[in-house]
Structure 1
Amino acid sequence: MINYRSLTDIVYDYISEQIRNKALKAGEKINENVICDALKISRTPVREALIQLSKEGYIEQIPRRGFVVCEVTLERANNIYKIIGTLEALAVTDCLEQGKILDLDAMRQLAHQMDEAIDQKNYDLYYNLQNRFHSTFIEASDNEDLIRILGSLKKIFIKQSYNPTDSEELYQEALRMTNEEHWKILELFEAGDAAALRRFVRDVHWNVKYADMEIVI
């Protein structure tokens, strides 16, 4: 079955990319006419995409001014990390305590691929693999509300990729440490230690020290 993207989806991705590439900066008003002209479309899908982005926290609708790009501050990123850590800890607990079927082989393969992506300096691939690793146990929880809320929270980090901002060597080391934590999560899943896994995911893997990697500067 072919999945066709709507005009609203196309506009959504276009605006997101403009924010990631810093063509649209925090505090800047989004010109709907410019987007219409660039994509050769009417205002309706543009307005629908803007409303969706506003609901998800990327932009803000200000009376008499229109839509403005929001800044994800370090304080906000820290707060979101704490919430995500708590919710993912619930997901891993559900998987173990309720005997959910979890594809540990798939998680192991993803961890290997992340190691390779770091070696190849392919940070976009690493980001995608990391999302798949987490999605494996989040979706296995079978908690639809938890899955939806986590998805919405993670979308706030519109960056959706990793790029070194300082020393690439230090950046790679940070990613290696993060992937070592993925291996530890896998180890704890295999051991069936729900309490240790819950603490590790919440207090170590989603420690706020990583939050600055998510910010569009």
Structure 2
Amino acid sequence: MEDYIGEIIRFTDMKQHKTLNEIVFEGIRKAIIKGILPIGERINEKEYAERMNISRTPIREALNRLEKEGLVECIPHYGVIVKKITIDDAKEIYQIRKALDILATKNAMKLMTKKQFEELRNLLEETEKLNEQNEDLDVVIKLFSEFNGKIYQYSHMPRLTNMVTKLREYLMRFRDISLRGEERRKKALSEHWMIYRAMCNQDETQVNMIIKEHLSYSEKFIIKEMEKQ
């Protein structure tokens, strides 16, 4: 049996300036989302507390919050297990993402300075250059995320940013798998360029259309990957 608790301990940063409850919650949550804790794995509250050298209360609180998020479920007479993220979950997340991404992008393009537009273009050029070299895919995938992150940053909508960050995390593992395909990366990069140009032109109609198409294509890839697994 793999030492999943050991992985979570290595994954949990106890040095953060946050409450213990929050640190434990974020550590277990990230482990589930990144696939460190597999679907169906039983989370033994007592064992986790002993291995992490803390009381059972933070573990219990974390599991309660994770159950509300739909990441774990309590099975009567058995315990808490990691819940599967379903295809219906993915479809719902993408439906919400389309609305939030369009809202953030429209707000950002109205508020962005000339320098910020240049930063966004430079980011796309760097992504294109590294993608053509086809070497360090981890860096390329990170730059794809930075493009989305900058748009949300420039939108000056922190609550919206927090919402979409949590939604993206659910499917991050599958999205990263899909972007490792050369064809998918080329298309995604082309769509990012189209979003950028529509923003430069302050064209809300184009922003609507391109983002919907961009996320619909991403959704198809991720659902296909989920079906394989």
Same fold (TM > 0.5): yes
Give the equivalent residue in structure 1 for 2:63: 50
1:120-139: CA deviation from partner (whole Å, max 9, x where unpaired):
2433x344333321122223
Q: What's the RMSD between the two structures over aligned residues?
A: 3.2
1:19-69: CA deviation from partner (whole Å, max 9, x where unpaired):
356553223321122322332222122223323333333223455544321
Percent identity, aligned pairs only? 25
Q: Is the 8 A contact 1:92 1:138 kept in 2?
A: yes
Give the AA of the match of 1:34. E
Q: How does 1:104-183 map to 2 (within 5 A)?
A: 104-116=117-129, 118=131, 119-123=134-138, 125-157=139-171, 159=173, 162-163=176-177, 171-183=181-193
1:116 is displaced (CA, Å) by 5.0
Q: Is the 8 A contact 2:42 2:79 kept in 1?
A: yes
Unaligned 5+ runs, structure 2: 1-14
Give the equivalent residue in structure 1 for 2:24: 11
User: TM-score, structure 2 length as denominator?
Assistant: 0.73
- Number of aligned residue pairs: 208
Higher helix share goes to which structure? 2
CA distance in 1, matches of 2:154, 2:34: 34
Q: Is the 8 A contact 1:92 1:194 kept in 2?
A: no
Question: 3-state DSSP class of the match of 1:157?
Answer: helix
Question: 3-state DSSP class of the match of 1:24?
Answer: coil
Give the AA of the match of 1:182. H
Question: 3-state DSSP class of the match of 1:206?
Answer: helix
CA distance in 2, matches of 1:189, 1:213: 30
Unaligned 5+ runs, structure 1: none
Give the equivalent residue in structure 1 for 2:209: 199
CA distance in 2, matches of 1:78, 1:139: 25
Higher relative contact order (CA 8 A, sep 6+): 1
CA distance in 2, matches of 1:58, 1:148: 18
Give the AA of the match of 2:154. A
Q: Is the 8 A contact 2:178 2:222 kept in 1?
A: no
1:186 equivalent among 193, 196, 199: 196
